[in-house]
Amino acid sequence: MAPLIPQGIINPELNLFFALLLGVGFGYILEQAGFSSARKLAGVFYGYDFVVLKVFFTAGITAMTGLLFMDYLGWIDMGLVYINPTFLYSAITGGVIMGFGFILGGYCPGTGIVAAVTGKKDAMTFVLGMLIGIFIFGHFYNAFEGLYTGHFLGNIFIYDSLGISRSWFALMLIAVALGAFIITQMIEDRVNRTSASEISSRPPYYIPSFLVLSLGIIYLLLPPEKASSYREKPAGAIWENVIAGNYQVCPQKVIHQIKRGHDGMALIDVRSREEFDAFSLPGAVNIPVEELLHRRWKEFFRDTKRDKLFFGNGGSRAMESCITASRAGYKRVFMLEGGLNRMFEELFTDKSLPDTTVYDLQARSTARFLLEAREFFLEGGLAGQLEKERQRIRAPEETEVIPVIGGC
Amino acid sequence: MKNHTLNNSTIIFSAIIILAMLINFLTARDYGKSNRMVAAGLSQDRYFSYEGLYSAMEGSFPGEGHLVIDLRSREEFQKRHIPGAVNIPAGEIPDRKNKKMLRKSDSILLYAGSEELAAGCRVLLHGMGIENVSLIPGNYQVIKERVLNGFDPSYAFYNEDKTRWEYQRFMPVGKSKRESRDALRANPDPEVPTPVIGGC
């Protein structure tokens, strides 16, 4: 139930219940494939039955193709999928122990339990041995720790080590799997001395092989990243908004909002970290363009109660961020027209104020607004907003990604 | 019976994927590049400096391999423009004919009535897959004053995104703000998820 529990859709306390359901399902399939029989499992080594190899290769390439395409279509977020990190020494030791146990008992851990449930006495002994092994490891963990965490390599991928792209590796794996199916079938026939008429009566699996191979080739031919998704706003609509000036907000409006405590407006600073540290508008958060589409800010932008206002020194960087955010499907994004430069020009440069004694309502209110704003910003009227700001800066940084952890 | 199961399940599996890809292809927007890649490319150098513009204008300008696009309206263009510039009013950029022309050229320089509009156009062209676009900084008025009417070397690397004022002097925000922010950054919530590890 990987994506549902960290997202809070399913109560984590039900985790074990679903684990039980999935485990029963998995065991049922193993039993159905005939994996509760040690004779069948050991067939891979003697060459009379390759069903284990076939089942696991099929499962592997099915899961691989499905995941690759779901990742491409944006149905699944591969960043959330937990990848087991590689500890070289423990991997080698574990492999040796598992192989040795497989030869000795004729089962691997999962199939051993399935066989034990079906009432096989050798499997029950096998499971008992496994439990003793677990107990020893847990009890003397301190002695094993150096080995267990030795030579950490991190999350390494086979295609990176080989120096090829992921899509090429996927295609290669599919081809290798199909080749392995043909070769193992030939070996099986020779060992079992299958008669020629029986071989010819067997249906050829042309269609599945062709389909799986063609899926691999389609994935190879796709561009590395999908150009657009259905959630995105079309370019034409964005461009119309840009020309009509729907994204631009004039500095006076922003000054007014800041003076009122800007409850309906979230300020986003698109400048560099250094510039942001030196000075920023009160309550602003720093999001450079490169970081804009990061998962961390998703929640922040999905908040539809507030307008999101981008600002930079000038207008161009803010406009770039604004368009990027708008294309990503975020609503209520705006930018400060002319940036901080224009805003300060409007506020503080020595503009000749209109004569307030003249009976011109508009000129008088403009002058009064400017004077009030100057007073507010120069006299440090912003100090009262500091407490509020602390909460604002904190809010979006908390959403840390919880990787989903599980194994086969 | 068993053979049919394999055939059928493979066909269903592939059909789902191919159908999804087809729907994805049919509903695709007119973008040629993913948003994430565009955003990553935007931080690169975006300005063509006035110095470069001036030295390029010494010769015949479009011969240099640059295509200069004027995004202002036709009337404004007819009054005066950078020599060798081509007029595409901002609204006509998405037209197929214009896109075809833009796709062919190696280096595109944009300017408009405001730098914002040119920057917006640049992002849009990036999204469509036209990447070699840079901006001539500032609006047309500034370009006219500082390049066309005589080159002013002190503005050789001018752009509107540079800090023009010493903001701290105007807006004292107090020390406590920076302190609180530093404290936050130094000590973020140590909320590490406890891993549950399973294996076969």
Mean residue pLDDT of chain A comes to: 81
Q: What is the pLDDT of residues A231-277, one digit of tens each?
A: 788 888 888 888 888 899 988 888 888 877 767 788 888 888 888 87
Pair A293, A308: CB distance under 8 Å? no
| Domain co-membership, A23 together with A108 | yes
Q: Are the Cβ atoms of A227 and B119 closer than 8 angstroms?
A: no
In total, chain A counts a number of residues equal to 408
**Token digits for A352?**
């000749």
Give the number of other Cβ atoms within 10 Å of residue A247's Cβ.
22
User: Could you tell me the residue range of the domain that residue A372 belongs to?
Assistant: 235-398
| Domain co-membership, A259 together with A171 | no
* Residue A310's CATH number: 3.40.250.10
Q: Which among A207, A179, A225 is positioned nearest to B15, based on CA atoms?
A: A207
**Residue A2 within any structural domain of the chain:** no
| Domain co-membership, A112 together with A249 | no
| Domain co-membership, A321 together with A357 | yes
B71 in reach of chain A (CB within 8 A): no
Domain finish residue from A162, A192, A221: A221
Q: pLDDT tier at A296 (50, 70, 90 boundaries)?
A: confident
**Residue A85 within any structural domain of the chain:** yes
**pLDDT over 60 (residue B184):** no
**Token digits for B38?**
């565009």
| DSSP string computed for A117-173 | HTT-HHHHHHHHHHHHHHHHHHHTHHHHHHHHT-SEEES--HHHHHT--HHHHHHHH
Pair B153, B54: CB distance under 8 Å? no
**Residue A403 within any structural domain of the chain:** no
**pLDDT over 80 (residue A318):** yes
Q: Are the Cβ atoms of B14 and A218 closer than 8 angstroms?
A: no
Of B115, B123, B173, the CB nearest to A282: B173
d(CA A129, CA A124): 9
**Residue A71 within any structural domain of the chain:** yes
| Domain co-membership, A241 together with A206 | no
**Residue A294 within any structural domain of the chain:** yes
Q: Which among B181, B195, B97, B67 is positioned nearest to A84, based on CA atoms?
A: B195
Q: Residue B4 class from Cβ within 10 Å (0-12 exposed, 13-18 middle, 19+ buried)?
A: exposed
Q: Which among A216, A212, A226 is positioned nearest to A165, based on CA atoms?
A: A216
Domain finish residue from A165, A199, A221: A221
**pLDDT over 50 (residue A285):** yes
Q: Are the Cβ atoms of B21 and A73 closer than 8 angstroms?
A: yes
Local structure of residue B146 (DSSP, 8 states):
I
Q: Residue A9 class from Cβ within 10 Å (0-12 exposed, 13-18 middle, 19+ buried)?
A: exposed
A328 in reach of chain B (CB within 8 A): yes
> B-chain residues within 8 Å CB-CB of A318?
116
Interfacial B residues in 93-132 facing A (CB < 8 Å)? 93-94, 114-124, 127-128
> A-chain residues within 8 Å CB-CB of B31?
227-228, 232, 235, 327
| Domain co-membership, A261 together with A192 | no
What percentage of chain B exceeds 70 in pLDDT? 78
pLDDT number for residue B170:
66
Q: pLDDT tier at A398 (50, 70, 90 boundaries)?
A: very low
In chain A, what is the straight-line distance between the N-terminal and C-terminal CA atoms, in Å?
13
| Domain co-membership, A130 together with A195 | yes
Give the number of other Cβ atoms within 10 Å of residue B28's Cβ.
16
| Structural domains of chain A, count | 2
| Domain co-membership, A158 together with A51 | yes
d(CA B157, CA B151): 12
Domains of chain B, with CATH numbers? 38-151 (3.40.250.10)
Q: Which among A394, A155, A227, A389 is positioned nearest to A296, based on CA atoms?
A: A394
**Residue A33 within any structural domain of the chain:** yes
Local structure of residue A246 (DSSP, 8 states):
S
Q: Are the Cβ atoms of A235 and B31 closer than 8 angstroms?
A: yes
Pair A324, A289: CB distance under 8 Å? yes
d(CA A9, CA B64): 60
Pair B54, B38: CB distance under 8 Å? no
**Residue A27 within any structural domain of the chain:** yes
Indicate the pairing of strand B107-111 with strand A307-311: unpaired
d(CA B38, CA A321): 11
Interfacial A residues in 136-165 facing B (CB < 8 Å)? none
| Domain co-membership, A206 together with A247 | no
**pLDDT over 60 (residue A76):** yes
| Domain co-membership, A317 together with A351 | yes
**pLDDT over 70 (residue A324):** yes
**Token digits for A77?**
């977020």
Domain finish residue from A160, A191, A221: A221
> A-chain residues within 8 Å CB-CB of B200?
108-110, 407-408
**pLDDT over 60 (residue A391):** no
Q: What is the pLDDT of residues A343-369, one digit of tens each?
A: 888 777 766 666 666 677 777 777 778
Q: Give the CA angle between residues A255, A259, A265 to the nearest 5°.
A: 70
Q: What is the pLDDT of residues B48-107, one digit of tens each?
A: 888 888 877 776 565 567 888 888 988 988 988 888 888 888 888 888 888 888 888 888
Render the burial of A112-135: b for 16+ CB within 10 Å, e for the rest: bbbbbeeebeebeebbeebeeeee
Residues near B106 by Cβ (< 8 Å), separated by ≥ 6?
Answer: B65, B132
Which residue in this structure is represented by tokens 């509009």? B117
Between A350 and A65, residue with greater pLDDT: A65
Instruction: Please tell me whether residue B88 adopts helix, strand or coil conformation.
Output: coil
Of A108, A314, A380, the CB nearest to B174: A380
Count, in order, helices (H) and strands (E) of chain A. 19, 7
Q: Which among A270, A248, A249 is positioned nearest to A318, based on CA atoms?
A: A270
| Domain co-membership, A213 together with A295 | no
Tell me what ipTM this predicted complex has: 0.78
Q: What is the pLDDT of residues A51-61, one digit of tens each?
A: 888 888 888 99
Give the number of other Cβ atoms within 10 Å of residue B177's Cβ.
19
Pair A101, A132: CB distance under 8 Å? no
**Residue A408 within any structural domain of the chain:** no
Between B162 and B44, residue with greater pLDDT: B162
**pLDDT over 60 (residue A301):** yes
Chain B residue with the nearest C-alpha to that of A33: B2
Local structure of residue B61 (DSSP, 8 states):
G
| Domain co-membership, A83 together with A147 | yes
**pLDDT over 50 (residue B198):** no
Pair A154, A84: CB distance under 8 Å? no
Q: Tell me the pTM.
A: 0.70
Local structure of residue A203 (DSSP, 8 states):
P
